[in-house]
Amino acid sequence: MRHRGAIFPWRQGVLCMSRASTAQANGPGLVRKLSRTLEIAFTTLVAWFFCMAAAGALVYVASGLWMQKYESATPLSIVDPAITAAGGVISAKPFGLVFDAKQGAVMAAVYAAGSMLALGMSMMLSGSPRRLGLFLIVVWSGLWAIDAAMVVAGTWTGTWFAAGMPVVAGAAALIVVFGCMIHRALLLWRVQVTL
């Protein structure tokens, strides 16, 4: 036996590897579940941050419009003018996110409440409301991402964007958030919760 092992050392290695792979056969399932759980947790944190920030910005816009601080406002209205002045970003009118007078204040408040409602629905155990919430968050984040990309694209000078780097970075972050929301929707769309 020893003589055989000395002559055919590769056999011992094969035996050890086959035993190790058999012992680890149950491991990938656990690793996959842990990875999926971490993905869901991360994308849910991103969803919370995005919806809270969007709702906060819209409530601020709504209060400014209601108190007649602005005649017309967008989420860009709350950003420091020194940042949005470059490239004329301050005068941009993002599609679906321009609010005028007191009617606009009410609409901004409704959007803020809808953002939080969609977030809550996306975390429900029941499948239908959760899917509706996931769909609404994907659409909502998509609107912000597309508007941000269009605002930055409008400042193209032929060589680079005239918008300030914080605006370009913010637009890039909104596009990443949109991707995260699509990924989260794909992860949670078919999940069935059994109690």
Q: Is 121 left (phi over 0), alpha (psi -120 to 50) or beta?
A: alpha
pLDDT at 191: 80
* 30 within domain boundaries: no
Q: What DSSP letter does each residue of 93-160 carry, written as one string?
A: --TT--EEHHHHHHHHHHHHHHHHHHHHHTT-SSHHHHHHHHHHHHHHHHHHHHHHHHHHHTTB-SSS
pLDDT at 158: 84
* 98 within domain boundaries: yes
Task: Find the radius of gyration of the CA atoms of the chain.
Answer: 25
- Domain region containing 125: 46-188
Number of structural domains in the chain? 1
Closest CA to 79 of 153, 151, 156, 161: 151
Per-residue burial over 25-58, b = 16 or more CB atoms within 10 Å of its CB, e = otherwise: eeeeeeeeeeeeeeeeeebbebbeebbeebbebb
pLDDT at 61: 95
* 74 within domain boundaries: yes
Mean pLDDT per 10-residue interval, the chain, length 195 residues: 50 47 59 89 95 96 93 90 86 92 95 96 91 97 96 89 91 97 93 69
